[in-house]
Amino acid sequence: MEKRIGSSPLTFDWPPPGASLREPGRIFMPRPRQLAPSSGDVSLPARAIAAPPVEPGRDQIPPAAGRAPRRGAMLDELVRTIGADGAGRLIAAFGGARLYIPHSPEPGDALSEAVGHATALALASVFGGDRIDVPNPPPRRVRILQMRAAGASVDSIALALGCTRRRVFQVLAEARTNERGR
């Protein structure tokens, strides 16, 4: 069978005469048409050429590289770097602000005063010389965790904060996941 689109004919491969269109293990698809006879060299279609292998020690770009980072990414990074306690002190002091992290913080710096000198050094080891946007976690999330740590039930937390039980369980599960990840 031959079809024409524009001026070039397209040919399709069909099953041999008498063969079923649904043979187990076989798929009948059109083959790419060669424009000129090749002289023994086999050219692969562009989609068949594999990407070059990644060098050892080099990171691959994640598939979501063009997307905006997810909402809690900076908070998660801070918790991994300086711990939940240090991240809490940093957020309490600078929450919602853009903060410059010096390469080597001094004991009298505002950063060292707010979070402690050892924590400031740990923060500088990762973010030194950069400006970071210190996250300001939603107050309801923080209050859910505080109320649960104080021993409140899930029902009383949901009632007091005006949210659903399901939301309380989600926040508690996220907190457990973050704790296991550290």
pLDDT in tens, 59-94: 444 444 444 445 568 888 998 999 988 988 998 889
Q: Exposed (0-12), middle (13-18) or buried (19+): which is 78, by Cβ within 10 Å?
A: buried
Q: Which residues contact 83 (CB under 8 A, 6 or more apart)?
A: 119, 182
Whether 132 contacts 98, CB under 8 Å: yes
Helix (H) or strand (E) holding 112: helix 110-115
More confident residue, 11 or 121: 121
pTM score, whole prediction: 0.44
The predicted pLDDT at position 8 comes to: 52
Can you count the helices (H) and strands (E) in the chain?
Answer: 6, 4
24-33, 100-109, 116-125: the lowest-pLDDT one: 24-33
